[in-house]
Amino acid sequence: MVIILTKSELFGKAFEQFIFQELIAYSNYKNKEIDVTYWRTASGFKVDFILNQEIAIEVKASSHIQTHHLKGLNAFYEEYPAIKRYIISLDVLPRISENGIQIMPWQVFLTELWNGTII
């Protein structure tokens, strides 16, 4: 048995994998062709998921998203300003950052995903 502690690196990877599996399940269940890629720069900025070149998603296993969590999506925005940006997290309440990134608790994100309002 593997025990995954909430604030561990392994938890963060498992949380990201969970969101990825939900995206794939949604795509298959709804018969939607969703191209899931990622984005990374040579300087180390990254975005976990790019969906159909329309939506950028960063997954953070944090219950309080702060400015440093937004770096990858902000760098991405400089190159692709028309794409919607989301951070999926353990936050309790959804909100929008001052630069337009939607910060969503994972439960809210999955509800909106499966209701068809994300993609």
Given pLDDT bands bounded at 50, 70 and 90, which one contains residue 95?
Answer: very high
Instruction: Name the pTM for this structure.
Output: 0.93
At residue 3, the 3 state secondary structure works out as coil
Mean pLDDT of 7-22: 93
Average pLDDT for residues 14-21, to the nearest whole number? 96
pLDDT at position 59, please? Answer: 97
Is residue 75 within a helix (H) or strand (E), and if so which, with residue range? helix 71-79
What confidence score (pLDDT) does residue 1 get?
78
**Which ranges in 37-105 belong to alpha helices (H)?**
71-79
> CATH 3.40.1350: does it fit domain 9-114?
yes
Domain boundaries, the chain: 9-114
- Which pLDDT does position 9 carry in this prediction? 86
Consecutive H or E run containing 100: none
- What amino acid occupies position 3? I
Rounded-to-integer distance, Cα 57 and Cα 102, Å: 10
**Six token digits for residue 40:** 């990374």
The token pair that represents 30 in the structure block: 């709804």
User: Mind listing the pLDDT tens digit for each residue in 42-92?
Assistant: 999 999 999 999 999 999 999 999 899 999 999 999 999 999 999 999 999
Question: So what's the pLDDT on residue 90?
Answer: 96
- pLDDT-derived band at 119, boundaries 50, 70, 90: confident
